[in-house]
Copies of this chain bind each other. A is one copy, B any other.
Amino acid sequence: MEINEKIVGFLSEVKKMKPLVHNITNYVTTNDCANIILAIGGSPVMADAIEEVEDMVNIASALVINIGTLNSRTVEAMILAGKRANKNGIPVVLDPVGVGATPYRKEVALKLIKEINFSIIRGNMAEIKVLSGLEALSKGVDSEESSEDGKEVAINLSRALKTVVAITGVIDFISNGEKVIAIENGHEMLTKVTGTGCMSTCLIGVYAGVTKDYLAAATAGIMTMGIAGEKAYEKLNKSEGNGSFKVLLMDNIYNFSSQDIIKRGKANEL
């Protein structure tokens, strides 16, 4: 498949270039985010001081903004960093964690979207619906929405914001406003470990650091996580749980190969 071949190329580029991904992110999943960036072959840096984020962006290949544990200080840093990234022409990826949970999150997310040109926005269905101005059931940071109307929601928000929009769920939908790609990789066990969404966004950031084809970069990040999740689950013993699964997941990202993409990748243009 054409998509899989592209992703194989990105993976090899990542190993060669080791793109530096600057993260302004939450303090819940940071360690796993840094390790997953290392695992796939990128180089992570976490920095959120207002005094330095612009300088950090200057040496980065991509910026990832995650509002999981936002506060007024870090929001200011996000805006400064995002604007600098736009100026420098490097991709900015948004993870609007729990955007429907509180008015403040929604207000911040909309402000970020207004002030920064995002290359890719990745969220679950509830989060993307909130950004789309649609009603969404939100319970904290986990989504209970079905992904039935994912194709339409993704393409509409993508057109409205002129950015790639990725909705992750049982089926993932990624759109650049023209095309929509659906991915059927992944495993339910990924919902039992905190931060697998954040980590997917980081993987997208890594791939976006080596290509301007952001539709494909988002597809690559989400597919990588999905396939690694499948493989991790296959190795999980019955007596093991989300502790071992997290370790296996990281290992499978570390050993992620072109063969995994070719044999298992299930991305299709709709």
Contact = CB atoms under 8 A, between A and B. Distances in A.
A39 to B, nearest CB: 5
Interface residues of A, number: 65
A241 interface: yes
A103 interface: yes
A56 B102 contact: yes
A165 to B, nearest CB: 24
Interface stretch (A115-123, A134-142, A178-186, A210-218): A134-142
Contact of A43 (B56, B140, B235): B140
Contacts of A30: 27-28
Interface stretch (A8-16, A152-160, A219-227, A248-256): A248-256
Nearest to A35: B194
Contacts of A254: 192, 240-243
Interface string A20-59: 1010001111111011001100011111111110011001
A69 interface: yes
A195 interface: yes
A247 interface: yes
Interface stretch (A70-78, A88-96, A124-132, A168-176): A70-78
Contact of A26 (B46, B68, B250): B46
A35 B243 contact: yes
A224 to B, nearest CB: 13
Contacts of A51: 71-72, 104
A98 B53 CA distance: 13
A193 interface: yes
Given A47-B101, A59-B138, A243-B247, 20 more contacts: A20-B139, A28-B34, A28-B46, A29-B34, A34-B194, A35-B246, A38-B192, A44-B140, A44-B194, A45-B98, A45-B141, A47-B69, A48-B71, A49-B104, A55-B104, A59-B140, A240-B251, A241-B251, A242-B254, A246-B250
13 contacts: A22-B140, A31-B32, A38-B194, A43-B139, A49-B72, A49-B104, A52-B101, A52-B104, A59-B101, A192-B254, A239-B255, A241-B254, A243-B251
